């Protein structure tokens, strides 16, 4: 499994891109390590993949749902057997430490088994009719061909959030991984192949923005699920709206952690280290704003700075590493730009703010864990997504002010509040404008069987994960059975005066 799979996978066959154009995939921790060259797929490749998916849908969509679940269980079993191998290659490709990529794979395993079980629970409804001798019910039908475009930071977990429910419901898939994690996507699809998934049910096309555009705009793609930037997601939404396609968008975040005066600060520090600097801060759910009560501000910030400064930064496949690299040079330059912006706005860099030095980080795109203090809520570093290990600290004097600051952004994905007061915690569950709220925990840590998604600029209302994602991947069909033997007119005034 360690061999690089650097082709597309269409209709059960590994094949080169039609044009022969390729792009390189580079280890972000060691830029001299070229993992491989992958197809820059074009319209012809996407068209072949969609055609294969459309053909496979004719039989896959009519297969009994529990039989589809049997394939998902086999996929889960293979991922379990290959977890360490797969995680090693994921870390090499996208950088986060090995213990994190193992968790990424485990989340995909959990999703496989969960989706398999849901194939026996694709419920419709039976409801009373307003007419005598008439039976009303609804049932679920698959949509058709689903385009899946995923991000690089969870190169196995996030695409399986999308693909497993899609195929459980009887749809077929054309999958485009991020161009920053093409090998992980291919290794995942190889597992599907080895599990015996019929040809054409899941197809893989590698490439960048042009590949994604061709997939979104293909007339035979019935639904699109996307995880990535708000800018790209908005363009996808426009295209799908114009073509009357169903679409699910999971986009940016600027997630707050509120710390009130009665919080357990030891617990807070532990949570913030994970929430702000896990995955090098490159999560849509990363804690990027710390909103802290003035009475505990100095103590908390000093404790956090001491712990964050001590994090071991380096190549994620070395056991001692606690934080890996930024994904690429472009991402690194974006972080450096926002450091400059923050300083110009009047914020202060308490720790970090630059690239680290030393033999453990030589030749990679690394950045130090960074904490800004003296941040005000309307600074750009407090409102715009940086996508790196940068935490902005905002001082507040009350719960009401904390909530106002937390909600003063265009995003609404995840949030957290630390307090010992149960009444305040329950108020926060309702007051914070976010799709997810954690009580006394960091903003990261979604579970596979729970809905995942955000509000405002973070998404378009659909949820991934849990039971709600199955609504996205199915159409509801309403059925009436009239066994009265006579014409009965519904929605006619049948009530006598």
What is the Cα–Cα distance from 180 to 207, expressed in whole angstroms? 10
In a domain, 483, yes or no: no
Token pair belonging to 108: 């995909």
What is the Cα–Cα distance from 304 to 371, expressed in whole angstroms? 9
Residues 275-309 have pLDDT tens digits of 999 999 999 999 999 999 999 999 999 999 999 99
What is the Cα–Cα distance from 420 to 264, expressed in whole angstroms? 8
In a domain, 450, yes or no: no
CA gyration radius, the chain: 24
Residues 226-274 have pLDDT tens digits of 999 999 999 999 999 999 999 999 999 999 999 999 999 999 999 999 9
Averaged pLDDT, 484-491: 91
Q: In this prediction, what percent of the chain has a pLDDT beyond 70?
A: 98
Q: Are 284 and 253 contacting, i.e. CB atoms less than 8 angstroms apart?
A: yes
Element holding 471 (H helix, E strand): helix 469-472
Residues 350 and 367 in one domain: yes
Banded model confidence at residue 141, pLDDT cuts 50, 70, 90: very high
In a domain, 331, yes or no: yes
Residues 264 and 245 in one domain: no
Whole-prediction pTM? 0.95
CATH number of the domain enclosing 168? 3.40.605.10
Averaged pLDDT, 205-232: 97
Token pair belonging to 16: 């080169």
Q: Which residues does the annotation mark as catalytic? A: 250, 284
Helix axes 209-216, 43-60, angle to 10 degrees: 40
Averaged pLDDT, 169-192: 98
Residues 56 and 68 in one domain: yes
Which residues, at least 6 apart from 130, have a Cβ–Cβ distance to it below 8 Å?
A: 490
CATH number of the domain enclosing 338? 3.40.309.10
| Residue 428 vs residues 147, 340, 417, 441, 465: alpha-carbon distances, Å | 36, 33, 7, 13, 23
pLDDT for 496 beyond 90: no
Residues 354 and 212 in one domain: no
Residues 347 and 238 in one domain: no
In a domain, 224, yes or no: yes
In a domain, 275, yes or no: yes
pLDDT averaged over every residue in the chain: 97
Q: Shortest CA distance to 12 belongs to which of 259, 213, 190, 257?
A: 190
Residues 285 and 224 in one domain: no
Q: Shortest CA distance to 436 belongs to which of 411, 404, 469, 419?
A: 411
Residues 312 and 333 in one domain: yes
What's residue 388's pLDDT? Answer: 98
Residues 5-62 have pLDDT tens digits of 899 999 999 999 999 999 999 999 999 999 999 999 999 999 999 999 999 999 999 9
Token pair belonging to 150: 């995923």
Q: Are 79 and 194 contacting, i.e. CB atoms less than 8 angstroms apart?
A: no
Q: Are 438 and 450 contacting, i.e. CB atoms less than 8 angstroms apart?
A: no
In a domain, 471, yes or no: yes
Banded model confidence at residue 497, pLDDT cuts 50, 70, 90: low
Residues 212 and 163 in one domain: yes
What's residue 494's pLDDT? Answer: 66
Residues 355-382 have pLDDT tens digits of 999 999 999 999 999 999 999 999 999 9
Residues 16 and 121 in one domain: yes
Domains held by the chain: number? 2
CA angle 152, 155, 159 (to 5 degrees): 110
| Residue 278 vs residues 185, 311, 419: alpha-carbon distances, Å | 22, 11, 22
What is the Cα–Cα distance from 289 to 384, expressed in whole angstroms? 11
What is the Cα–Cα distance from 25 to 98, expressed in whole angstroms? 19
Banded model confidence at residue 492, pLDDT cuts 50, 70, 90: confident
The domain of 326 spans 255-439
What's residue 364's pLDDT? Answer: 98
What is the Cα–Cα distance from 30 to 17, expressed in whole angstroms? 27
Residues 49-60 have pLDDT tens digits of 999 999 999 999
In a domain, 2, yes or no: no
In a domain, 262, yes or no: yes
Question: Which of 15-24, 165-174, 276-285, 488-497 is the least confident region?
Answer: 488-497
Residues 42 and 185 in one domain: yes
Banded model confidence at residue 2, pLDDT cuts 50, 70, 90: very low
């Amino acid at each position: 499994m360690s061999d690089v799979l650097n082709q597309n996978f269409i209709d059960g066959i590994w094949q080169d891109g039609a044009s022969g154009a390729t792009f390189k995939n580079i280890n972000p921790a060691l830029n001299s390590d070229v993992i491989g060259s992958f197809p820059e797929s074009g319209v012809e490749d996407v068209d072949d993949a969609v055609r294969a998916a459309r053909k496979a849908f004719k039989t896959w969509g009519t297969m009994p749902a529990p039989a589809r679940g049997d394939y998902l269980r086999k996929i889960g079993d293979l991922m379990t057997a290959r977890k360490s191998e797969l995680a090693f290659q994921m870390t090499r490709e996208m950088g986060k430490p090995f213990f994190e990529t193992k968790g990424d794979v485990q989340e995909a395993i959990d999703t496989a088994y969960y989706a398999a079980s849901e194939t026996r629970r694709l419920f419709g409804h039976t409801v009373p009719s307003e007419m005598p001798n008439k039976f009303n019910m609804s049932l679920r039908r698959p949509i058709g061909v689903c385009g899946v475009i995923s991000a690089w930071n969870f190169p196995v977990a996030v695409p399986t959030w999308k693909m497993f429910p899609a195929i459980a419901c009887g749809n077929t898939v054309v999958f485009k991984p991020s161009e920053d994690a093409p090998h992980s996507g291919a290794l995942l699809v190889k597992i599907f192949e080895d599990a015996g998934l019929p040809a054409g049910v899941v197809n893989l096309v590698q490439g960048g923005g042009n590949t994604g555009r061709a997939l979104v705009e293909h007339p035979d793609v019935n639904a699109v699920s996307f995880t990535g930037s708000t800018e790209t997601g908005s363009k996808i939404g426009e295209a799908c709206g114009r073509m009357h396609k169903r679409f699910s968008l999971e986009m940016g975040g600027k997630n707050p952690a509120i710390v009130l005066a009665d919080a357990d600060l030891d617990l807070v520090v532990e949570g913030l280290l994970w929430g702000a600097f896990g995955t090098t801060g490159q999560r849509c759910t990363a804690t990027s704003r710390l909103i802290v009560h003035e009475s505990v501000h100095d103590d908390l910030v000093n404790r956090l700075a001491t712990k964050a400064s001590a994090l071991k930064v380096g190549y994620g496949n070395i056991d001692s590493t606690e934080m890996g690299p930024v994904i690429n040079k472009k991402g690194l330059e974006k972080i450096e730009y926002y450091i400059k912006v923050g300083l110009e706005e009047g914020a202060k860099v308490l720790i970090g703010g630059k690239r680290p030095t030393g033999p453990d980080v030589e030749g990679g795109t690394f950045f130090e864990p960074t904490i800004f203090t003296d941040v005000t809520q309307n600074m750009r570093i407090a409102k715009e997504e940086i996508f790196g290990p940068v935490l902005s600290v905002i001082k507040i004097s009350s719960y009401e002010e904390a909530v106002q600051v937390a909600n003063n952004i265009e995003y609404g994905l995840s949030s957290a509040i630390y307090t010992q007061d149960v009444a305040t915690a329950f108020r926060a569950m309702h007051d914070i404008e976010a799709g997810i709220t954690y009580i006394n925990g960091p903003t990261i840590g979604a579970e596979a069987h729970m809905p995942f998604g955000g509000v405002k600029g973070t998404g378009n209302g659909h949820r991934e994960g849990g039971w709600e994602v199955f609504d996205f991947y199915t159409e509801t069909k309403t059925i009436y059975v009239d066994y009265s033997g006579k014409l009965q007119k519904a929605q006619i005034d049948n009530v006598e005066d």
